[in-house]
Amino acid sequence: MHLKTALRGATALSVCIAAGAATAQDTTLTIATVNNGDMIRMQALADDFTSRHPGIALDWVVLEENVLRQRVTTDIATQGGQYDVMTIGTYEVPIWAAQGWLEPLSDLPAEYDVDDLTPSIRTALTYEDTLYAAPFYGESAMVMYRTDLAQEAGVEIPAEPTWQDIMAAAEAMTDRENEVYGICLRGKPGWGENMAFLTAMANSYGARWFDMDWQPQFDSSEWQAAVSDYITMMTEYGPPGASANGFNENLALFQQGKCGMWIDATVAASFVTNPDDSAVADSVGYAMFPSKDGVDNRGNWLWAWSLAIPESSDAKDAAKQFVAWATGRDYTQLVADRDGWRAAPPGTRTSLYQNADYQAAAPFAEMTLKAMEAATPDTPSAQETPYTGGQVVAIPEFQGIGTAVGQVFSAALAGQMDADQALQNAQQLTQREMQRAGYIQ
Amino acid sequence: MATQHSRAAARLMISPAVVVLLLWMIVPLALTLYFSTLRYNLLMPGANPFVGLENYRYFFTDPAFTTALVNTLLLVGGVLVITVGGGIALALLLDQEMFGQGIVRLLVIAPFFVMPTVSALVWKNMFMDPVNGLFGYIARAFGAQPFEWLTAAPLFSIILIVSWQWLPFATLILLTAIQSLSSEQLEAAEMDGAGFGSKFLWIILPHLARAITVVILIQTIFLLSIFAEILVTTGGGPGVASTNLTYLVYIQSLLQFDVGLGSAGGVVAIVLANIVAIFLMRMIGKNLDA
Amino acid sequence: MARAVTTRRKAVNTAIAWTIGLLIFFPILWTFLTSFKTEAEAISSPPAFLFFDWTLENYGAVQERSNYFRHFMNSVVISIGSTVIGLIIAVPAAWAMAFVPGRQTRNVLMWMLSTKMLPPVGVLVPIYLIFRDFGLLDTRTGLVIVLTLINLPIIVWMLYTYFREIPGEILEAARMDGASLRNEIIHVLTPMAVPGIASTLLLNVILAWNEAFWTLNLTAANAAPLTAFIASYSSPEGLFYAKLSAASTMAIAPILIIGWFSQKQLVRGLTFGAVK
């Protein structure tokens, strides 16, 4: 009795408060997104959308990447229906589309111009000839370095460097007294953090995750070389506490002028050259992702944060209108008008790279495009692979395995074990998980 | 004397609380037990076949399991030692006469009201970060290399953060207990020529026994399931150096979305928590009735 | 007086206690100060303590990005709602256990407390599925139910120990006068129990306010309280210490102020009356 009355009371109370907040709109979209700079800008610009669509109100759920991923995956896998638009990556899209969890984006309006989307990204977001998500921004990986420090140290970083060039430059630029570290790389564990970088680096060393029988390959000499070089570079020329640094931490370090080089997502270029946030905006140079002597592979990093609509949404039409707005050409123009062309969301549209204003405002445009065109996620390694995916392995189990292996390499970077021990652990752990998942006996 | 009638009434009054808690315990527990016998991965919907005890086998043979168990005990134990020890010292200090005692008390108690997520974020970024943190700055000011708190001593750092949050709680309770100590007793001891050491050992500490038990019980309940602090600061790493049982279950059920394995881990964690619970209940039961 | 202290000793005590008190409080103070700095000043070396250009821009930026008031109202409704419902269920139970104890009372109490030890991560998926089926995801009602349930054992325990201290003879006397059970509760028991109930209420509001697992995992936008608000300021791109500090200050200030005003009741409540 008490419980019922009380619940009714609480419900009534909630209804009253909700009613106070309710407005004239008929549809409310709940949009889940990452707290990255570009998405926060999208939120700030959303008035443009709501003024064009007065019947649609927007609710934002803006979370840190890991938390967001856990929330949306739980929701979509249980058909919870809490979100109408989800921000997901190129890794999730084909896997989720195969499960029938995503609404196809086949009937986008003509002015959206689907054919303008960057081909490699469009392919990555397509499953069985149907587009399932619209790219918000796309990226590959490249080297960003301080031209002033390189000059001071008397080193030159070629436009297409090898790992040897990078190591030599890192050594020359390191100046621990003044808190300048030759190279900053991801060390924070996670399949989308340190493993994204390490997988790309291993690809460029000619390594692969699995052989054609799905046997893990961490015991190969290629992985051995990649991981030991990574740990050597980071311990000798990297910043302190590197095993806790992800993309955002390294971005902050680079912006403060504490990194000589940083190899990471191309999207970072627009942040490190933004004079409002970056102390080194004027002296950033770019180079392709390094390769190893004798291996023709530059990592094959390809990623796009994309907007998708879950099958469980009850406002699919309004959601489609929003997705078309946020990833359309007009949005790019809107960003350019407000924050300048340099800030335009990169990597998703061919037309952007033909735009003279953009080329003038974004010195990194050429290298970004070149890096994205060079990435071939369908053939990640020089060796034959049973899987696709550049800095990821496109199987559902990869999230779990990648995170666990990421912890092992992070521990090695923190000095808890050496490279050989870490590779051995990674090998055992991956074997165990692949057995559990039924890939190998 | 309670009559038949009032007993029936009493039963009626207790039942809502018992029924809702029973539901709250049994429904998720039954589902968890059921899931723990299935091959059930959220990312691979399908038949979810029955696999018996396979999930338990994988959970127990997970190399992280023993580490997580040890870390859980270290975390609970470490925080208890720091907060009880520090709490007694602070309580003795605050019991002395001084100027502005009320304000000092407010300062000391404040961390208890800070959300765990907020305190973890603040400590991680603004203090323990080796490059931008205040500790790093202080180290450099003295010409030393900054200590890499969260990577070199992850579990210890988490123990420190959690202790900061719980120290006020221990201090407040112990202070209240000390203040209830009759001053005649202490005066009598002083007359007999007892120094501070013997006063503390023979009068104050026995008097505090019950309060200390209460601190240990309540804190243990909350400390066994520490989660937010680990998630925000170290993510259980590097490696599994700061993974406790709760966090291990989280990794399995929500990062790998392996509900079967996560459920098996959940069942194990529940069993272990209840063993600790029974042990604690015995202790507290005696002390509370006295 | 043997316990009288000299002014000198008092001064020494004061100095030590203030130093330690300020050290313990420092992280909160530092967060508060940082919230008024620019992002660049927030990480400047040497750190600026008081002499920087105080600015409110971080609070503006935070308000622009998230609807603080909505999160705040959700926190208020959820924490107070769950505590009040918890009290409604717990008061009769605790009353009965305190005044008409049976053989099983101790065991029931112990069992209740042991339900608090279930690790929430282990049962998230089942609860999520149940919530989905009942349409409770992202509703305040749903969160009120969960938080009521997880704090109910603590509420029962606290009330039980308060009620046990009310002398039974008073009730006997009331019964002699022919008071009905209802009158007994309203006119005799309630006035004596109000302080205990008040402190139980306070403590549970604080616990519910700071609960960060269920509140984060079962909400999206409509019912998300301040714990979810803070989550969006955790490790974003670029410099964020100042904005994080502003958001933190906004999230903890209300409960910190309430807590400061109620510290006496808290001690009483937290210890289940074991410490007087």
- Dihedral of CA A369/A372/A376/A378: which sign? negative
Q: Which SS3 state, helix, strand or coil, does residue A88 take?
A: strand
Say which residues have a Cβ less than 8 Å from residue B98's Cβ, sequence separation at least 6: B104, C10, C13, C14, C17
**If you compute the radius of gyration of chain A from its CA atoms, what whole number of angstroms results?**
23
Residues of chain A contacting residue C235, judged by C-beta atoms under 8 Å apart? 35, 64, 246, 248-249
List, as ranges, residues 249-278 from A with C-beta within 8 Å of B: 252-253, 256, 258
Chain C residue with Cα closest to A14? C140
User: Inter-chain contact C16–B93, Cβ cutoff 8 Å?
Assistant: yes
Q: How many CB pairs under 8 A join A and B?
A: 103
Put simply, whether A35 touches B (Cβ < 8 Å) is: no
Nearest to B137 among C46, C106, C129 (CB): C46
Nearest to A10 among C81, C220, C239 (CB): C81
pLDDT of residue B90: 94
* Cis peptide preceding C46, ω within 30 of 0: yes
Taking CA atoms, B145 is separated from A179, A237, B148, C147, in Å, by: 11, 15, 9, 45
Query: Mutating which of C143, C235, C240 best tests the A interface, going by the most A Cβ atoms within 10 A?
Result: C235
pLDDT of residue A257: 93
Say which residues have a Cβ less than 8 Å from residue A69's Cβ, sequence separation at least 6: A88, A192
**A245, B137, B17: which is closest to C94 by C-alpha?**
B17
Task: Using DSSP bridges, classify how beta strands A259-265 and A181-184 pair: parallel, antiparallel or unpaired.
Answer: parallel
User: Inter-chain contact B14–C92, Cβ cutoff 8 Å?
Assistant: yes
Put simply, whether A70 touches B (Cβ < 8 Å) is: yes
Q: How many CB pairs under 8 A join B and C?
A: 288
Put simply, whether A269 touches C (Cβ < 8 Å) is: no
Sequence spans of domains, chain B: 18-289
Mean pLDDT of chain A: 91
Residues of chain B contacting residue A436, judged by C-beta atoms under 8 Å apart? 58
User: Inter-chain contact C121–B31, Cβ cutoff 8 Å?
Assistant: no
Are A23-138+303-361 and A141-301+380-436 equal in CATH topology?
yes
pLDDT of residue B288: 57
C137 to chain B nearest CA, in Å? 16
pLDDT of residue A22: 43
pLDDT surpasses 50 at B147: yes
Fold of the domain spanning B18-289: MetI-like fold (1.10.3720)
In contact, A34 and A305? CB cutoff 8 Å: yes
Q: What number is the ipTM of this complex? A: 0.87
pLDDT of residue C5: 65
User: Inter-chain contact A64–C236, Cβ cutoff 8 Å?
Assistant: yes
Burial of residue B139 (number of CB atoms within 10 Å: 0-12, 13-18, 19+): middle
User: Inter-chain contact B239–A73, Cβ cutoff 8 Å?
Assistant: no
User: Inter-chain contact C17–B262, Cβ cutoff 8 Å?
Assistant: no
Tell me which range, B8-17, B73-82, B181-190, B231-240, is most confidently predicted by mean pLDDT. B73-82
Complete domains list, chain C, with CATH: 7-60 (no CATH), 66-232 (1.10.3720.10)
Put simply, whether A238 touches B (Cβ < 8 Å) is: no
pLDDT category at A14 given cuts 50, 70, 90 is very low
In contact, A396 and A95? CB cutoff 8 Å: yes
**A190, A211, A174: which is closest to A427 by C-alpha?**
A211
- Provide the strand spans (E) within A44-190: 56-63, 85-88, 126-127, 130-131, 134-139, 141-146, 181-184
Question: Is the model more confident about C184 or about B107?
Answer: B107
Q: What length is written for chain A?
A: 441
B263 to chain C nearest CA, in Å? 6
Chain A residue with Cα closest to C66? A60
Tell me which range, A80-94, B2-16, B127-141, B243-257, is most confidently predicted by mean pLDDT. A80-94
pLDDT of residue B1: 45
Please give chain C's pLDDT, 276 residues, in tens. Answer: 345 568 888 899 999 999 999 999 999 999 999 999 988 888 887 888 888 889 999 999 888 888 899 999 999 999 999 999 999 999 889 888 888 888 788 788 878 877 887 778 778 888 888 998 999 999 999 999 999 999 998 889 878 877 877 777 777 777 777 767 777 767 777 777 777 788 788 888 988 999 988 998 898 888 999 998 888 887 766 678 899 999 999 999 999 988 888 777 766 666 655 554
**If you compute the radius of gyration of chain B from its CA atoms, what whole number of angstroms results?**
24
Residues of chain A contacting residue C138, judged by C-beta atoms under 8 Å apart? 30, 82
Average pLDDT of the segment spanning A37-55: 93
Put simply, whether C66 touches A (Cβ < 8 Å) is: yes
Residues of chain C contacting residue A251, judged by C-beta atoms under 8 Å apart? 237-238
The per-residue DSSP string of C181-239 comes to HHHIIIIIIHHHHHHHHHHHHHHHHHHHHH--SHHHHS-SSTT--HHHHHHTTSS-SS-
User: Inter-chain contact C237–A6, Cβ cutoff 8 Å?
Assistant: no
Put simply, whether C141 touches A (Cβ < 8 Å) is: yes
Query: Mutating which of B5, B13, B181 best tests the C interface, going by the most C Cβ atoms within 10 A?
Result: B13
Residues of chain A contacting residue C233, judged by C-beta atoms under 8 Å apart? 35
A153 to chain B nearest CA, in Å? 23
Residues of chain C contacting residue B97, judged by C-beta atoms under 8 Å apart? 5, 10, 13
User: Inter-chain contact B238–A414, Cβ cutoff 8 Å?
Assistant: yes
Put simply, whether A30 touches C (Cβ < 8 Å) is: yes
Nearest to B241 among A77, A397, A411 (CB): A411
Mean pLDDT of chain B: 86
Tokens 């998500």, residue? A133
* Cis peptide preceding B238, ω within 30 of 0: yes
CATH code reported for the domain at A141-301+380-436: 3.40.190.10
Chain B residue with Cα closest to A407? B239
- Cβ count within 10 A of residue A378: 15
The secondary structure of residue A33, as a DSSP letter, is E
User: Inter-chain contact B11–C206, Cβ cutoff 8 Å?
Assistant: no
B183-241 pLDDT, tens digit per residue, is 777 778 777 877 788 888 888 888 888 788 878 877 888 898 888 899 888 888 788 89
Residues of chain C contacting residue A46, judged by C-beta atoms under 8 Å apart? none
Put simply, whether A245 touches C (Cβ < 8 Å) is: no
Residues of chain A contacting residue B44, judged by C-beta atoms under 8 Å apart? 396
- Cβ count within 10 A of residue C178: 7
C77 to chain A nearest CA, in Å? 8
**In Å, how far from its chain's centre is CA B84?**
12
pLDDT surpasses 80 at A4: no
Fold of the domain spanning A23-138+303-361: D-Maltodextrin-Binding Protein; domain 2 (3.40.190)
Tokens 């409704």, residue? C77
In contact, B262 and B249? CB cutoff 8 Å: yes
The per-residue DSSP string of A241-275 comes to TGGG--HHHHHHHHHTT-EEEEEEETTHHHHHT-T
A151-203 pLDDT, tens digit per residue, is 999 999 999 999 999 999 999 999 998 989 999 999 998 899 999 999 999 99
pLDDT of residue A133: 97
C128 to chain B nearest CA, in Å? 10
Sequence spans of domains, chain A: 23-138+303-361, 141-301+380-436
A264 to chain B nearest CA, in Å? 20
Q: Which two tokens stand for residue C14?
A: 């004061």
User: Inter-chain contact A2–C222, Cβ cutoff 8 Å?
Assistant: no
